[in-house]
Structure 1
Amino acid sequence: MIKNIVFDMGNVILRWDPEYIASRLSNNLDEQKIIIKELFNSEQWQMLDQGTISLDEALQQIYLITDGQYHDLLKYSLYHWYDYLEVFDDMVPLVKELKQQGYKIYLLSNCGLQIKDYFHKVTAFKYFDDFYVSAYNHLLKPDLQIYKHFLTKFNLKAKECIFIDDILVNVEGANKVGMKGYLYDGDINHLKSFLKKSL
């Protein structure tokens, strides 16, 4: 019996589109490419998600491998990227409905410590029971340990959880520990049909 619905964040609850975010951070195409390459696609970004490096440490490391003319841009981008995240409005009523039906709602997401400063802006999150952010736990999906730790931390049984993510390997990781995974393709009606059959 399913008791818990576990959501990923990027491209499930809100839009994660590095190219779009870069376009909001700069009108210059070359600068946009720098932001994507040297920030979002960097080793430091992964380390921020895993919580093994601070923002200042990440910035200093990025400075060492980038042209000085882009340092101010990269610093601003690192501290303001989440200002341009967009919430999927159609996900809010679904989360609310699931909560009203008595299901526990959780977040399980690869993201850095900064994201907690953004949570209050996301209407859907007021219906969540708790949040598992990778950086606070030093683990990343699809490492099986993150799913096991998530279940242990919130005292949940895998067979009682549905996990919704937009990345196949993350869904497969959840399946391997006994959770029922769903690969979200952006079609909320497909998700609703899946939940109707599964709950």
Structure 2
Amino acid sequence: MQEIKNIIFDFGGVLVNLDKHRCIEAFDKIGAHEIVRYVDECRQEDLFHDLEVGNTGVEEFCNEVRCICTGCNADDADICEAWNALLTDIPRQRLEKLASLRGRYRMVLLSNTNPIHWQKALDGMFRNDGMDVDDYFEKTYLSYRMHMLKPDPQIFGKVLMDSGMAAYETLFIDDSPVNCAAASQLGMMSLNLTGDEWLDRV
């Protein structure tokens, strides 16, 4: 880590815990049974892909869920709540670790995410001892705002260029081996870790 000056963190699975089964139960509860297979198989095509890459908005996403799911009359708030059931919490020890690293490294967040999940994160997941997301990261790079997804090399290139970070001085932490491989090909050091695994590695 001596040569590392920058750290790029993933969000889902690295910082925030995910519970696929809780999300499935939530969609089942509102009658969106056809959506369950998307969540169960971690599929990212169609409506979920379009939401995550910023090609569709929250209202359009909710309308599409109702169209796909025969007999589902859930309102937008219920659909968003069901999708948000995937995210559980960011444990305090991870936030404390981020705070301790911020003084030693330049840190940014890069996530394949969507406006529904990100709003939930902003509403309270990063709040700890009066801190918020901007206290941990100098910038957040989100797929739905950038209109591109990991592991596309362009998204990594964009982050490095925009932040002025050199690849060889940058560590990338992600729960996807495919994403880590893409980052490594650009010259970054990468760690394929989940949950608390990274706490003792940086």
Which TM-score band applies after superposition, normalised by the shorter structure? 0.7 to 0.9
Letter in 2 for 1:85: T
Query: TM-score if structure 2 supplies the norm length?
Result: 0.80
Unmatched 5+ residue regions in structure 2?
A: none
Q: What SS does the aligned partner of 1:114 have?
A: helix
**2:94 matches 1:91:** yes
Rounded to whole Å, the distance in 2 between the matches of 1:63 and 1:21 is 17
Give aligned-pair identity as a percent: 24
CA distance in 2: counterparts of 1:38 and 1:169, whole angstroms: 20
Q: Deviations over 1:115-151 (max 9, x none)?
A: 4423251137332111000100000011111101111
Equivalenced residue count is 189
1:153-172 to structure 2, matched below 5 A, reads: 153-172=162-181
Amino acid at match of 2:15: I
Pick one of 45, 51, 64 that aligns with 1:48: 51
In structure 1, the partner of 2:9 is: 7
CA contact (8 A) 1:22 1:32 kept: no
The 1:115–1:75 alpha-carbon spacing in structure 2 relative to 1, beyond 3 Å, is closer
Cα deviation, residue 109, structure 1 = 0.2
The residue type paired with residue 81 of structure 1 is W
Alignment of 1:48-87 (within 5 A): 48-67=51-70, 69-72=71-74, 76-78=78-80, 81-82=83-84, 84-87=87-90
8 Å Cα contact 1:38-1:66 kept in structure 2 = no
Uncovered stretches (5+) of structure 1, i.e. residues with no partner: none
CA deviations on 1:33-79 (whole Å, 9 max, x unpaired) are 54433677452111111001112222233333220x22317761235
Deviations 1:57-104 (A, max 9, x none): 22233333220x22317761235633653113221121111113x211
* Change beyond 3 A, Cα 1:37–1:78: farther
- Contact 2:14-2:174 at 8 Å conserved across structures: yes
Distance 1:50 1:107 in 2: 16
Report the RMSD for the aligned CA atoms in angstroms: 2.6
Q: Specify the alignment match of 1:110 in structure 2.
A: 112
